[in-house]
Amino acid sequence: MRKGFLPRLAATGLSSNRQTYLPYFLTCTGTVLMFYNMCALAYHTSVLSEVSLSSLMTIGVWVTAIFAVIFLFYTNSFVIKRRKKEFGIYNILGLEKKHIGITMLFESLYVYVGSMVLGVGLGILFNKLITLLLYRMLRFDPNFQFAISLRAILYCAVLFAGIALLNLLYNLLQVRLSNPIQLLHGSNAGEKEPKAKWITALLGVVTLGAGYWLAITIQDPIEVLMLFFVAVILVIMGTYLLFTAGSVAILKLLRKNKRYYYKPAHFTTISGMIYRMKQNAAGLASICILSTAVLVMISTTVSMFVGSEDVLHTRYPEEIEVTASYPAGTEFDADALLENTMAVAGQEGRKIENLKAYTSTTVSADREGNAFIPAASGSSNNDVYLLVILSAQDFEGFTGKQVSVGPGELYAWGNVFGSAEAADWDSIAVLGHSYPLAGVDGSAPAIGAYSAWMAELCCLVTDSRDAVAAVAATAQEAYGETYNPNPYYSRICFDTDGTTEEKTAFAQALREDQLSKYPRDVDNDPIVTMRSRETTRDSFFSLYGGLFFLGIFLGSLFLMATVLIIYYKQIVEGYDDKERFAIMQKVGMSRQEVKRTVRTQVLLVFFIPLLAAAVHITAAFPMLTKLLKLLGLENIPLFLVCTICTVLVFALIYAIVYSMTAKVYYRIVYRKG
């Protein structure tokens, strides 16, 4: 055989099958573009790591990769089915299967290289645009250095080479398994009716159930963060399994119901769907997953954006917060810091409201009964307690409540003191010293600054600051080297009156004053820091605007993919169905009936995944609210409204695509005459 014949045959094969290969090629290119952008955003956009979104983006990368594998495999199986006849002719004309294999190898290579070059090229352009917009919205330096992400290119190359190889192997297997005559008839051989696979269906129920269970039951925010990805994977697996096995089972049940089945619209739809369910299932599941991803991304980012004022207030409960961390025995004076702050406020003419000022120290500990003992080093024990120890005077400065605590006594505030176990405790031990209890409060301590800590909080109130110092000294002994070098923590927070400009001016004056008066510590960290809600507002909003933009961008990307899949799927099926509809029209199916059947069929294909996506998002809702809480959004009704609106808008877009698709499909299958 002459050299270069097979590569040329492969090229001819592709160009003469333009109708099938062009959509496939474009699908590959689009998927590459999407994956490149996900990778580049996840690994190369430093802004995102600054706002700790990288981990979420990494999930996005994985989801996109899984989606790419399934979707391209599924599309390829369509393509190869249509080409079997051609390979059969080659085989009959004397091309060995080996040569056909080599031809296929070249074809895959062309498609791979072509879609990689085009996809990555467009991806880089697209990524540049996105990054530019993102930086502008985040008000970062617009003269940033735009980098082409080599890592993302590498990931793309590897992933899509893997997919191309998988598809090639599948195609080779198809050719190897059949003789020329079977190949010749390959494109119109009836697919065996799939068996309802009960084990797969059961597995699907189990995985989906596990995913839902995780999403609904997990309460702890940290666990939510860790297990979110697990839940996502479980739900994706469950969706695919259920769609493949469950859908056939449901359709067969519908077929058994004769009164339902033998109706003009249901009759052809149900049998057609059973016939093609294997392909349908993967497609429908992909559509469902993508729709869910779109809904989650858009609803969360929209509600964060809309709720950013809320988030600002959650993150910055007070207008101004001044904090200082310092070691024991320094000359730092918390009272002087307060006086100084008041003085600056006086100079600027601001009135102080809702003042809270206190000094505390914190010690982490394990608990055995009523004894708090030094936490084992490196212990990842979940029962770690964070003890916040402060004097009665500071407690009042902080909460406004007065408690009477005698010398050597403690007033205790924490969930554990409300438990049944603690009912008969009249004293507790802290790092070896026993203290009689002056009183307890069994509720969860609302200590703003500590609320994000992973440990359970306990607030212990002593009679004096000296007693606090004594506890700190004990802790120093117990922990030695590993003890916090700055155990004392003073916090002053308050609101002020005045306009936005006046508030900003005051915040700036206070900052300058502190910079001049307070030195840095041995590690060159400032001892005193301050935050102001007003001066943060701008950057805060631009950050949330950026997030919003990112959500809309990714959402649209996924939406586009969804729409393309549905459209492509329906068109390909339309060509498959053309023959069937022609026969049915000959037998006496009217135009109206063709129209109605098409509508039912397309409607099912469209709205089953949408329904499943709606169920998914309902189950994910509790988990999402906790994730949002971690990010500072606690306004659940707002999130609920945003989610519902997103679903409605999505359904609307969906309905438009549906009617377009149904029209095109109808035009394909309806035979005039």
Partner 1 sequence: MPLLEVKNLKKVYTTRFGGAQVQALRAVNFSVERGEYVAIMGESGSGKTTLLNIIASLDKPTAGKVLLAGEDVTSIAEKQLSVFRRKKLGFVFQDFNLLDTFCIRDNIFLPLVLSGEDHKKMEEKLIPIAKKLRIEDILDKYPYEVSGGQKQRCAVARALITGPELILADEPTGALDSRASDNLLDMFSRINGEGQTILMVTHSVKAASHASRVLFIRDGEVYTQLYRGERTKEAFYADIASSLTLLSVGGEEHA
Residue nearer to partner 1 on the CB measure, 263 or 517: 263
Q: Please state the three-class secondary structure of 190-203 as a single string.
A: CCCCCCCCHHHHHH
* CA atoms of 10 and 4, how far apart (whole Å): 10
Residue nearer to partner 1 on the CB measure, 46 or 590: 590
Minimum distance between the CB of residue 257 and partner 1, rounded to whole angstroms? 10
DSSP state of 276: T
Binder among 89, 165, 189, 336 for partner 1 (CB under 8 A): 189
**Among the residue ranges 185-193, 365-373, 418-426, 606-614, the one whose residues contact partner 1 (CB under 8 A):** 185-193
Subset of residues 569 to 608 that bind partner 1, contact rule: CB under 8 A? 580, 583-593
Instruction: Locate 305 and state its tokens.
Output: 């954006």
Which residues are CB-contacts of 134 (< 8 A; sequence separation ≥ 6)? 45, 47, 546, 549, 550
**Among the residue ranges 39-47, 92-100, 188-196, 307-315, the one whose residues contact partner 1 (CB under 8 A):** 188-196
* CA atoms of 629 and 418, how far apart (whole Å): 25
Instruction: Locate 39 and state its tokens.
Output: 């990778």
Minimum distance between the CB of residue 275 and partner 1, rounded to whole angstroms? 4
Minimum distance between the CB of residue 277 and partner 1, rounded to whole angstroms? 11
Beta-bridge partners for 356: 493
Residue nearer to partner 1 on the CB measure, 534 or 576: 576
Binder among 15, 146, 181, 193 for partner 1 (CB under 8 A): 193
Residue nearer to partner 1 on the CB measure, 264 or 526: 264
Residue nearer to partner 1 on the CB measure, 98 or 672: 672
Distance of CA 168 to CAs 84, 162, 164, 327, 417, Å? 14, 10, 6, 66, 65
Residue nearer to partner 1 on the CB measure, 93 or 177: 177
Query: β-strands 528-532, 433-441: how paired?
Result: unpaired
Nearest to 567 by CA among 595, 594, 605: 605
Subset of residues 244 to 283 that bind partner 1, contact rule: CB under 8 A? 258-259, 262-264, 267-268, 271-272, 274-275
The yes or no reply on residue 4 touching partner 1 (CB under 8 A) is: no
Q: Please state the three-class secondary structure of 104-165 as a single string.
A: HHHHHHHHHHHHHHHHHHHHHHHHHHHHHHHHHHHCCCCCCCCCCCHHHHHHHHHHHHHHHH
Minimum distance between the CB of residue 162 and partner 1, rounded to whole angstroms? 34
Beta-bridge partners for 530: 322
Q: Say if residues 136 and 23 touch (Cβ distance below 8 Å).
A: no
Minimum distance between the CB of residue 267 and partner 1, rounded to whole angstroms? 5
Minimum distance between the CB of residue 591 and partner 1, rounded to whole angstroms? 7
Residue nearer to partner 1 on the CB measure, 278 or 616: 278
Residue nearer to partner 1 on the CB measure, 2 or 258: 258
* CA atoms of 134 and 550, how far apart (whole Å): 7
Torsion of CA 295, 243, 251, 581, to 10 degrees: 80
Q: Binding mask 407-446 vs partner 1 (x if CB under 8 A, - otherwise)?
A: ----------------------------------------
Residue nearer to partner 1 on the CB measure, 279 or 635: 279
For partner 1, how many residues bind (rule: CB under 8 A)?
Answer: 27
Residue nearer to partner 1 on the CB measure, 146 or 262: 262
Binder among 4, 94, 142, 673 for partner 1 (CB under 8 A): 673
* Residues 244, 211, 304, 611, CA torsion sign: positive
* CA atoms of 235 and 278, how far apart (whole Å): 20
Minimum distance between the CB of residue 272 and partner 1, rounded to whole angstroms? 5
* CA atoms of 536 and 515, how far apart (whole Å): 18
Residue nearer to partner 1 on the CB measure, 3 or 258: 258
* CA atoms of 545 and 277, how far apart (whole Å): 43
Minimum distance between the CB of residue 81 and partner 1, rounded to whole angstroms? 14
Minimum distance between the CB of residue 31 and partner 1, rounded to whole angstroms? 30
Q: Would you tell me which residues interact with partner 1 (CB under 8 A)? A: 189-190, 193, 258-259, 262-264, 267-268, 271-272, 274-275, 580, 583-593, 673
